Structure 1
Amino acid sequence: MSEDSQRLVTIERTGAGRFTATNVRGGTIDFGTVSDADGGTGFTPVELLLAAIGGCSAADVDVATGRHAEPAGFTVTVTGEKISDDFGNRLTDLAVTFSVSFPEGAAGDRARTILPRAVAVSHDRLCTVSRTIEIGTPVTATVLEA
């Protein structure tokens, strides 16, 4: 694996059920196990996964359509059903829904024409996150002695 292809984040525990992920550029995002009882508004790991799926495709679609027109509105909604079955806890029925509008005129018309193809190409080829999930890449877990 080349240095350019490897992606890496480090997760540090910051408190009971609270964590901070840090990327190699120094960016951070806090998350944790959030319950209605503690009034938490932070993202859970599952919500981060949904955000990654939608964010990956949103970026692809924005690049393709944004060449032609700045969107008047751009919202991506990602849903999934959390279940527990013989395979353990997992999400099913993952769905990514785009609601994108463009201004009137030739540039907006071109962006509207490109939108369905941009969404399809992101889903079928470009989005590393959803492609990894759909193909089913194994995940290994190890413990290093401290």
Structure 2
Amino acid sequence: MSENSLRSVSVERTGAGHYVATNARGGTIVFGTGSDDEFTPVELLLAALGGCTAVDVDLATSRHAEPATFTVQVAGNKVDDELGNRLTDLTVTFTVAFPDGEGAERARTILPRAVKTSHDRLCTVSRTVEIGTPVTATVQDA
């Protein structure tokens, strides 16, 4: 692994059921347990799935035409079974429209291939979820 391959965030408790994640560049996002309007960790996972592939698709299509509509809906069912809590039946659905004009037909033609390429190869988030990368949890002394 190269030194540029590491990705990390830190998560800090800010109060009962409230947290802030900070990335290496200093960006933050607050989340919580769902007792208010803050995102839950599951919702952040869904946003990461949609956001990762949205970036790929947007970069591929918008160089040809600016979309009039670009929405990604991500959903899954939370289950608790013998394997524990998890999401099943994850779906990522794109609704994208390009206005008439220069490059729009090319962008419409590229759209399905861009979605497939992102899903099959480019999106680190969905690739990690589908492949099933092991997670190690440890405790470090404070």
Conserved in 1, the CA contact under 8 Å of 2:65 and 2:102? no
SS in 1 for 2:99: coil
Counting aligned pairs with the same residue, the percent is: 72
Question: Matches of residues 10-25 of structure 1 in structure 2 within 5 Å?
Answer: 10-25=10-25
Offset at 1:97?
Answer: 0.1
Q: Which residue of 1 aligns with 2:131?
A: 135
Offset at 1:67?
Answer: 1.0
Q: Give the alignment's TM-score, normalised by structure 1.
A: 0.96
1:78 aligns with 2:74: yes
SS in 2 for 1:137: coil
SS in 2 for 1:90: strand
How many residue pairs match? The answer is 142
- Consecutive unaligned residues of structure 1, counting only runs of 5 or more, are none
Q: Which residue of 1 aligns with 2:30?
A: 30
Offset at 1:138?
Answer: 0.1
- Where do 4+ consecutive residues of structure 1 move more than 6 Å? none
Offset at 1:34?
Answer: 1.2
Matched AA of 2:11: I
- Consecutive unaligned residues of structure 2, counting only runs of 5 or more, are none
2-structure distance, mates of 1:80, 1:101: 24
1:63-121 CA distances to partner (integer Å, 9 max, x unpaired)?
Answer: 00011000001000000000000000000000000000001134111100000000000
RMSD: 0.7
Question: Matches of residues 1-146 of structure 1 in structure 2 within 5 Å?
Answer: 1-35=1-35, 40-146=36-142
